[in-house]
Amino acid sequence: MLWKILVAVVLGALAGWIASKIMKSDGSLLRNIILGILGGALGGWLGSLIGLGGGWVMSVILAIAGSCLIIFLWRLIFGKKKSKK
- pLDDT (tens digit per residue) in 39-50: 888 888 888 888
Please state the three-class secondary structure of 27-54 as a single string.
Answer: CCHHHHHHHHHHHHHHHHHHHHHHCCCC
- Check whether 83 has a pLDDT greater than 60: no
Distance in angstroms between the alpha carbons of the first and the last residue of the chain: 40
More confident residue, 73 or 7: 73
